[in-house]
Structure 1
Amino acid sequence: MRISTAQIFNRSADNITSTSNSLYEIQQQLSTGKRILKPSDDPLASAQILKLTKEVEKTEQYQDNIDISRRRLSLEETTLDAVNDATVRVKELAIQANSGAVSDTDRALIATELDELEKQLFGLLNTKDVQGEYLFSGYKGFDAAYSYDGATDKYIFNGDEGRRSIQIGPDSKMASTDSGFEIFENVEGVLTISQQTGNQASHFSEQLITDNVAFQAFNDTRGPAVISFGNVGGVGNNPRYSVEDANGDPVFSGDPPVQLSNIEYLPGDVIEFEGASLIIDAPKVNGPVVINTEDQRTNILNMVHELSSALKNISTESDPEGNEKLNSAVSRALLQMESIQEKNIETRGSIGGRINTMDAQQDVNTEFLLHTKDARSSFQDLDYNEAISQFTLQETALNAAYGSFAKIQNLSLFNYIN
């Protein structure tokens, strides 16, 4: 077989090129630390690497979601803690204002502090998170949770009932927000007496609940109360009244208890029973007056606002009924604060539980990331010891190819022609 000079040159060039390419590829692997530089290097391993990379990216997003949610919930918890502290102070001031040793002037000063607490609470309930969204507005994150309506002299909730959930694991979602409606609006209500309606209704000039606990207990077990009027031998033809419960049984009042049956009623007389104090204007004779009630709810802002207004306007010095009115206003405020504080504690407990759950899920995600990255590394990462050995081998082969080619290219008869 004859080997031409062209064959020798072509074969040598191919060997040098092939060895150079192999050396370059190993050099790229060493510089990147990756065993697979393109899918064609190992199609099966490349598919596994893509799948595992997708899982890593998803899990890292779950970890970011947990960090974001934890910061938001921690801010909410801190805010609710400040709200609770303010509520405790309001409670202290309410009890202080209801003391017999406090004058009207002193109560006005207490009301001034309540006004400052009202402003503080208004700011807390309109707290924004780091993204500039209102914390308690539900889905309406860019609308202030609360605003003051001068026409009704009330604080209005402007948000909705939405709670944003965020993915923290493959099959796990967590509420990362709480609506102000659930925390501040949807609290247990306090009983109030409903005003009579209709042309034949008897109207109250005064309707106080002086003992909310007693009145609530009566309505839960025997209510509603019914006051019946009639002209039964009254002096000067004055009407007489009887008070019965919903079953028709008589109601007693006073200490010692007196049955409220066939009692003469003079204009302006106060009917008192089971924590209620009523004055009925022009009672309709032979017509029952049903003392209907409603479960009235209010948020903390309106509660503080109403209490402050009561302390400013009720006079225990010039109004004979001032003490009863003051006691009624304070008693109502204290009951409302109990409901508000209970809801606050319940929400903070829920936040703590969610943060603990996220911490546990974060640990799970961390373990999953570790194993997934380890699996991906087995397909993707370079074995440097093996690669360096291969690099040295290819480098030696390339040097040998260059050296042998230098020798072979001089093997020509023309070198011997003089």
Structure 2
Amino acid sequence: MRISTAQYYETTAANYQSNYSKAIATSNEASSLTRINTAADDPIGAGRLLSLGQQSAALNQYGTNIDSTKSALSLQETTLTSIGNALQRAKELALAASNGTATDADRKAYASEMGQIQQQVMGLMNSKDSAGNYLFSGSKTDTAPYLQNSDGTFTYNGDQTSINLGIGDGMTVATNTTGWDAFQQAINTSRTQTTMTAPAVDDGRVVLSNGTIGTSSTYNAKFAGGQPYTVNFLSSTQLQITDALGNDVTAEASQNGVISNANGANQTVSFRGVDLKLNINLKSTDTNPDAVIAGHSFQLAATPDSFNASRSPGNTSTAVITGSSVTNQAAYTNAFPSGGAVLKFTSATAFDLYAAPITADSRPVSSGTVSGGNATAAGVTFALGGGAPASGDQFLIQNNDHQTQNVLDTLGHMVTALNTPIDGNPVAKQNFLGAMESGLGNIDSAVNQIGSAVTSIGARGQSLDNQSATNESLTQANATSQSSIRDSDPAEVMTRLTLQQTMLQAAQLAFSKISQLGLFNKI
């Protein structure tokens, strides 16, 4: 086989250039100790590095989410704890006002402080974070969760939406606590009422409180099905309770309806989960207690649903809804939207009732015309005032079934009771004590609900800590994997570089020797 001189030179130069390029690459690798700088260096390894880099970026984002969520939850927990402390002070005031030595002046002072606590609690419920977002409005972070209505009650204006952030692969956690969960679901222990039906004019001898829910399970299972109940006093030592069908259910009352006729005694009658405070107030002229007490009668029932109606800002008329009440229980139960409704007028007299909010697909659940100044829809009669409605007028209707009660309303009721004079009036005092008992029960319920929210925050915090530890382990494993693929072994690189440099030197020497060989050297 013959090899021309030109061919030899070309082949040798090409091999030398290739080896020289490898030596330069190895030299760069020795300087940076990075094995893969471009995908061409190791296509498979570069692909794995890309995947690991994406995982690393996700883990970094998870870490940022965990830190921001911890900060948000910490602020929420601190705020809820402050609310709990304020409510504890409210309980102390209620108990102090209920003792036998407090005067009207004392109670008025307590009412003033109770009102300040109400405003403090409202301010805390409407707290914002450092970015100006409301803590307890759900996803409506630019809307104050609580506003006071014209009737003095308070309405929750947030929603029930949790804002979730990813903290790990396939794992999210709620960063917020909604006011609905923390405050609105507090069980209302005062959702029954008594109404005296006989005598026609209250003589003050028998005072029966509205009652508080003592045992929720018994109340839910038995009370509602038999209401309204009639409580008849047969004598000064015996009462009788009959249900809506006239069945005698006295056996389910404490002590089978036996009561004490001790004058002014504050005694408790328990019936189907409801605790009623009873006072017998005999007069000095009452020589026959049984005769004067017998014939007193009360109706006992769950507090009927109430309604809060507000005008739409776009209404062109001056019409307002002055009152609302259920006038057809069956229609109300079957048709009235549980999440609120919108009463929309199509003329001065015609109207439709929709489930709130109205959308393009909304259909009315009830329609009608105004009669006698009233609009009746879905079993509810709305009294109109302030002039005739105009076509397009809308009123937002929110119903309240009194199963729950936010603590702002509870504090408002207690302030009203504290400001009511009772000195020298035993009947008024007994009513006041009943109001304080109801308020204390609802404050306890609110504190329990807040405690549940704090517990939820704690559980989420524990999840964040656990996932943070997991993410840290994954981050370390990721870094190790990337290093094993990307980084070079210094000893191996230096050995390879030395070998390549030696090979280049040998190639140069061999080329120099061989290039001097030829036939003319033999002549």
Report the TM range for the smaller structure's normalisation.
0.7 to 0.9
RMSD in angstroms over aligned alpha carbons?
A: 4.1
The residue that corresponds to 1:254 in the other structure is 260
Alpha-carbon offset, residue 226 of structure 1: 0.6
Q: From the superposition, tell whether residues 227 and 208 of structure 1 become closer, same or farther in structure 2 (CA, over 3 Å).
A: closer
Check whether the contact 1:214–1:275 (CA below 8 A) recurs between aligned residues.
no
The residue that corresponds to 2:404 in the other structure is 297
The residue that corresponds to 1:58 in the other structure is 58
Q: From the superposition, tell whether residues 125 and 410 of structure 1 become closer, same or farther in structure 2 (CA, over 3 Å).
A: farther
Alpha-carbon offset, residue 335 of structure 1: 0.3
Correspondence 1:4-83 to 2 at 5 A? 4=5, 10=10, 14=14, 17-83=17-83
Residues of 2 paired with 1:216 and 1:171: CA distance?
39
Residues of 2 paired with 1:138 and 1:202: CA distance?
50
Partner secondary structure for residue 147 of structure 1: strand
Residues of 2 paired with 1:99 and 1:217: CA distance?
31
Check whether the contact 1:189–1:297 (CA below 8 A) recurs between aligned residues.
yes
Residues of 2 paired with 1:52 and 1:203: CA distance?
84
The answer as to 2:277 corresponding to 1:275 is: yes
Q: From the superposition, tell whether residues 243 and 26 of structure 1 become closer, same or farther in structure 2 (CA, over 3 Å).
A: same
- Range with bigger deviation, 54-63 or 65-74: 54-63
Residues of 1 paired with 2:39 and 2:199: CA distance?
89
Residues of 1 paired with 2:47 and 2:507: CA distance?
37
TM-score (norm 2): 0.61
Deviations 1:11-70 (A, max 9, x none): 565455434432332344345442112222222222222222223333333333222222
- Range with bigger deviation, 8-17 or 98-107: 8-17
The answer as to 2:446 corresponding to 1:340 is: yes
TM-score (norm 1): 0.75
Alpha-carbon offset, residue 179 of structure 1: 1.3
Q: From the superposition, tell whether residues 136 and 213 of structure 1 become closer, same or farther in structure 2 (CA, over 3 Å).
A: closer
Alpha-carbon offset, residue 391 of structure 1: 3.5
The residue that corresponds to 1:245 in the other structure is 242
Residues of 1 paired with 2:157 and 2:124: CA distance?
15
Alpha-carbon offset, residue 120 of structure 1: 1.9
- Range with bigger deviation, 314-323 or 85-94: 314-323
Residues of 1 paired with 2:201 and 2:21: CA distance?
101
Deviations 1:103-129 (A, max 9, x none): 222222222222222222122111223
Partner secondary structure for residue 321 of structure 1: helix
Greater fraction helix? 1
Q: 1:355 aligns with which of 457, 461, 476?
A: 461
Partner secondary structure for residue 138 of structure 2: coil
Greater fraction strand? 2
Residues of 2 paired with 1:389 and 1:95: CA distance?
87
Residues of 1 paired with 2:473 and 2:215: CA distance?
58
Point out which structure has higher relative CO (alpha carbons under 8 A, 6+ apart).
1
Structure 2 counterpart of 1:324, one-letter code: Q
Check whether the contact 2:213–2:219 (CA below 8 A) recurs between aligned residues.
no
Partner secondary structure for residue 454 of structure 2: helix
Q: Percent identity?
A: 26
Partner secondary structure for residue 325 of structure 1: helix
Correspondence 1:121-270 to 2 at 5 A? 121-149=121-149, 151-194=150-193, 209=209, 212=212, 224=227, 225-227=229-231, 243-246=240-243, 247-249=247-249, 251-255=257-261
Check whether the contact 2:193–2:211 (CA below 8 A) recurs between aligned residues.
no
Check whether the contact 1:218–1:274 (CA below 8 A) recurs between aligned residues.
no
Q: From the superposition, tell whether residues 210 and 327 of structure 1 become closer, same or farther in structure 2 (CA, over 3 Å).
A: farther
Deviations 1:127-165 (A, max 9, x none): 22344321111121221111222x121221111111223
Alpha-carbon offset, residue 85 of structure 1: 0.8
The residue that corresponds to 1:380 in the other structure is 486
Residues of 1 paired with 2:67 and 2:411: CA distance?
36
Check whether the contact 2:122–2:146 (CA below 8 A) recurs between aligned residues.
yes
Q: Which has the larger radius of gyration?
A: 1
Residues of 1 paired with 2:471 and 2:107: CA distance?
57
Residues of 2 paired with 1:24 and 1:203: CA distance?
110
Check whether the contact 2:69–2:175 (CA below 8 A) recurs between aligned residues.
yes
Alpha-carbon offset, residue 276 of structure 1: 5.4
Matched residue pairs, number? 375
The answer as to 2:320 corresponding to 1:311 is: no
Q: From the superposition, tell whether residues 55 and 110 of structure 1 become closer, same or farther in structure 2 (CA, over 3 Å).
A: same
Residues of 1 paired with 2:126 and 2:404: CA distance?
20
Residues of 2 paired with 1:202 and 1:54: CA distance?
81
Residues of 2 paired with 1:143 and 1:10: CA distance?
80
Q: From the superposition, tell whether residues 217 and 65 of structure 1 become closer, same or farther in structure 2 (CA, over 3 Å).
A: closer
Structure 1 counterpart of 2:116, one-letter code: E
Alpha-carbon offset, residue 208 of structure 1: 6.2
Q: From the superposition, tell whether residues 57 and 95 of structure 1 become closer, same or farther in structure 2 (CA, over 3 Å).
A: same
Alpha-carbon offset, residue 386 of structure 1: 1.9
Consecutive unaligned residues of structure 2, counting only runs of 5 or more, are 234-238, 251-256, 264-274, 281-294, 304-401, 519-523
The residue that corresponds to 2:397 in the other structure is none
